[in-house]
Amino acid sequence: MKLFSKTPHKEDQKVHFELYKRYPITLEKGLGSRVWDAEGREYIDALAGIAVNNIGHCHPRLVKAIADQSGTLMHISNFYTSKPQVELAKRLVKLTGLDRAFFCNSGAEAIEGAIKSARKYGHTKGKSGPIITMDGCFHGRTLGAISAGKKKYQEGFEPMLPGFKQVPFNDIEALTKVVDDQTVAIMLETVQGEGGIVPAEKEYLKAVRKLCDKHDVLLIIDEIQCGIARTGKMLAYEHYGIVPDIVALAKGLGGGFPIGAVVAKEKVSKALDYGQHGTTFGGNPLATRAALETLDIIKDEKLIRKAAVDGEWFMSELRNWAETEDAITDVRGMGLMIGVELSFPGAGVVEKMLHKGILTNCASGNVMRLVPPIPITRLELTALLVALKEAVAEEKASIK
């Protein structure tokens, strides 16, 4: 394969905030599990826009739905209702087992809505305690989200918003010690994404639900990255047999079109009065129509089962490899949300895989995050595995 240019897109460097350490390719087209750059090179996408393109790039049905809706009605503001918004709210209420939905434009906005809703509920109950979050969590990059998250994302943006406390993830004893009747909420990801693809332990999450019930504490589940069929269930918390009080959704919900949602129990939504939260663009007809079509595609193409079956097969292949490769310290995940933990930093592996025609990503420094479009074929997954083996071997050799 011909190597890509060593210089990132020059115009981008001149005009865009220098916030992203971009790879020096410009992508121009996508279809299914493949993307093509400006020079015509083809890649298997094992990142899916960071677990966004769950139904694949440019699914023909989604493209048509967006085109049809954009020719009818795109935006009206939330002073008025639209059929796609009402239908999507009904669908999400049914899928989540909750009562009411609020729409926004991104995952971080969904988290902000969840935090505000929880705090308002806490005020109605006379609570003055914190929202408890987990070490290693990532909930977005707004000020509220980073106040709830890792210290590394807070540096330079102090003072942080008060009212948050962190405890170790998957440690029910540590959590129990800090929860009391004044605690407002516990917020966690069912599977930590940026934290290195770390699933909640089954008994842990069940115990968290019981602890919340005991103290009238809201359980906020962040399903932004792990939700929408990614783990072999529509929502990852279904693996655990629990229902949260609030769930935050985004990423895969729109199939590549920006949309976020907060879905909550009636008691939570009723704590908010008219005008205490809102959005201009959230839940517009175009975004909600895209989400409806995405959910229909997932159902019609049986992508939930596919994520479960292919994920189990692929993790088995990865674990078989890990038994004979000392550079691999762990393989974990659910469905097609998989982390391969390395014994050394993974940035070099990501770059080597790019040269081999595979788009990947490294989370938490040394965990290869594999979150391909769910329609990816076994042949493509095999090609991904071959490239990963080669890249790990090459990187290991280069650092000895």
> Which amino acid makes up residue 145?
A
> Which amino acid makes up residue 243?
V
Active-site residue, selected from the candidate residues 45, 102, 127, 138: 138
138 is catalytic: yes
| Interacting residues of 303 by C-beta distance below 8 A, sequence separation 6+ | 54, 55, 229, 297, 374, 375
Active-site residue, selected from the candidate residues 127, 233, 251, 306: 251
What are the two backbone dihedrals, phi and then psi, of residue 102, each rounded to the nearest 5 degrees? -130, 140
What is the separation of C-alpha 86 from the centre of its chain, rounded to a whole number of angstroms?
Answer: 24
Distance separating alpha carbons of residues 378 and 197, to the nearest angstrom? 22
164 is catalytic: no
Report which of 26, 340, 29 is spatially closest to residue 196, judged by C-alpha positions.
Answer: 340
> Which amino acid makes up residue 60?
P
Sort strands 218-222 and 246-249 into parallel, antiparallel or unpaired: parallel
Tell me which residue has tokens 């602890």.
211
Report which of 288, 397, 286 is spatially closest to residue 352, judged by C-alpha positions.
Answer: 397
Q: Tell me the CA end-to-end span of the chain in Å, nearest whole number.
A: 26
Active-site residue, selected from the candidate residues 150, 169, 222, 314: 222
- Extract the tokens encoding 163: 């009212």
Which residues, in sequence order, are bridge partners of residue 211?
none
What is the separation of C-alpha 140 from the centre of its chain, rounded to a whole number of angstroms?
Answer: 10
**How many alpha carbons lie under 13 Å from residue 64 in its C-beta half-sphere?**
5
- Extract the tokens encoding 136: 């290693």
17 is catalytic: no
Residues with a catalytic annotation lie at 138, 222, 251
